[in-house]
Amino acid sequence: MIEQFQKHFEERGFKQLTAIQEAVQAPLAADKTVFGIAPTGSGKTLAFTWPLLPKVMKGEGAQILVLEPSQELALQTTRVMREWAALLGLKVHSATGGANLRRQTERLKKERPEVVVGTPGRVLHLLETRSLKLNHLVTLVIDEADDLLRDDTQAVVEDIERATPLETQLAFFSATQSDTLDQLDVLFGRDLVKIDVRAEDKSRGPVKHGLVAARTMSDKAVMLKRLSQTKNFRALVFFTSIKTLHYTASRLRHDGISSATLGGRQRQTERETVMRKFRKHQIKLLLTTDVAARGLDIPKLPAVVNFELPTTADGYVHRTGRTGRQGEPGLVINLGDDHDFRDLKKLLAATDYKLEPMTIDKRQLVTNDADKPGRSVAKANVKAIQKRQRDSNRGPRKEVVRTLDDSLSQSRPKRKKKNRKNKGIRLKHRRKNEEKQQ
């Protein structure tokens, strides 16, 4: 890491690199084509930001192009890269669908940023209209490659890659593996350095995976309402159907529950407003889909709720990766009936996820464990943190953890209201007694 980055790294309070950040630094700096696989929340954006930015020449036009599957993730990546690029005097711009095309075009032509982060459709359009030129491109980063290299999007990504110079370095990053990703060297005709750190990555915190019984859409909406009433609860709520998402959103609005939606045909400004409110804890439930929430980084997100269960194991991995980041405790709540839960267990049979029944009791989410009946999820998360501290070489240290339910704190006693009923009659009798005594 260069000196400017090392100093900022320490100022930000970072202690050490994650497994993926350490593994890809040397090959990326050496201009090799890299395929990095690491769990969600392991710092993949910084993993390619730190080694790639120092290779950029200021004022030479677009030299790094990063492709992201969604507008939200592109804006998030832009913010992260812009922070570190500013230390070198470099400019980073986003080019996403949903934003004003004319304004984006004017900014690209006028400011000539060295780094461009965008969604495939908008980037390809800018290339075809010659608003974006890649003559000096050094590196093309394809983030969330398992999502971008599928269906129609794969053809768009391949068209963009063909518009880059022959010597352009390629970098692929993903949280999961797929058949397409196994053939990257054939698809793009490059010698590939594959780096898989999923086994040794320790960036994930303790995450509970719960099964909460709710059969119909109406039952699930009621369960969401009950969950929102537990203390310190915030969650990303995932749907597979847009129709079901809008139905549930209208139910929650009718019940006065603090919620919002992310996705669909929202404008970019609307999406940014929703995400800002959710990060500032002004919204409790953020209803979304797999595509809209792919790769989102929401610090200390307490929970993820699968209103509709995912249909693939990879989908489950990406959804649940939104919580339990950077060592924080997390919670995944799966809503459904016995049949849904049997299918989910079959789907995740090859993984190490432990699914356990849970219920809501007295505004707390508790596990239905035969050995430890009624154990609060909040307490379980605290126990996991304490165990991790005891097992660490550094010895135990105090750590403040915001759990799902602050069940250990005592609630304040309610103040008794003064009984003001028949106040006038009491005053009348008091005056009569005083007159008699005189």
- 3-state SS track over the chain: CCHHHHHHHHHCCCCCCCHHHHHHHHHHHCCCEEEEECCCCCCHHHHHHHHHHHHCCCCCCCCEEEECCCHHHHHHHHHHHHHHHHHHCCCEEEECCCCCHHHHHHHHHHHCCCEEEECHHHHHHHHHCCCCCCCCCCEEEECCHHHHCCHHHHHHHHHHHHCCCCCCEEEEEECCCCCCHHHHHHHHCCCEEEEECCCCCCCCCCEEEEEEECCCHHHHHHHHHHHHCCCCCCEEEEECCHHHHHHHHHHHHHCCCCEEECCCCCCHHHHHHHHHHHHCCCCCEEEEEHHHHCCCCCCCCCEEEECCCCCCHHHHHHHHCCCCHHHCCEEEEEEECHHHHHHHHHHCCCCCCCEEEEEEECCEEEEECCCCEEEEHHHHHHHHHHHHHHHCCCCCCCCCCCCCCCCCCCCCCCCCCCCCCCHHHHHHHHHHHHHHHC
Per-residue pLDDT of the chain (438 residues; tens, 9 = 90+): 899 999 999 998 888 899 999 999 999 999 999 999 998 888 899 999 999 999 999 999 999 999 999 888 898 899 999 999 999 999 999 999 878 899 999 999 999 999 999 999 999 999 999 999 999 999 999 999 988 998 889 999 999 999 999 999 999 999 888 888 888 989 999 899 999 998 887 777 888 999 999 989 999 999 999 888 887 889 999 999 889 999 999 999 998 898 999 876 777 788 888 888 998 889 999 999 887 777 677 878 889 999 999 998 888 988 888 888 777 888 999 999 999 999 999 999 988 889 999 888 766 777 765 444 445 555 555 555 555 555 555 544 443 434 444 433 444 455 555 555 555 666 777 777 877 776
Multiple choice CATH, 207-391, 3.40.1280.10, 3.40.50.300, 3.40.640.10, 3.40.50.10190: 3.40.50.300
Residue 213's CB is within 10 A of a number of other CB atoms, namely: 16
Q: Give me the pLDDT at residue 436, please.
A: 73
pTM, two decimal places: 0.73
Burial classification of residue 355, based on how many CB atoms lie within 10 Å of its CB (0-12 exposed, 13-18 middle, 19 or more buried)? middle
Q: Give me the pLDDT at residue 264, please.
A: 66
Per CATH, the architecture of 3-196 is what?
3-Layer(aba) Sandwich (3.40)
Sign of CA dihedral 239, 222, 215, 362: positive
What does each C-alpha distance from 174 to 38, 97, 414 come to in angstroms?
7, 22, 52
CA 95 – CA 28 distance, rounded (Å): 24
Residue 251's CB is within 10 A of a number of other CB atoms, namely: 18
Q: Give me the pLDDT at residue 370, please.
A: 45
What does each C-alpha distance from 25 to 31, 52, 194, 325, 326 come to in angstroms?
10, 9, 13, 22, 20
Tokens representing residue 20 in the block = 């993926």
- Tell me where in the chain the CATH 3.40.50.300 domain(s) lie: 3-196, 207-391
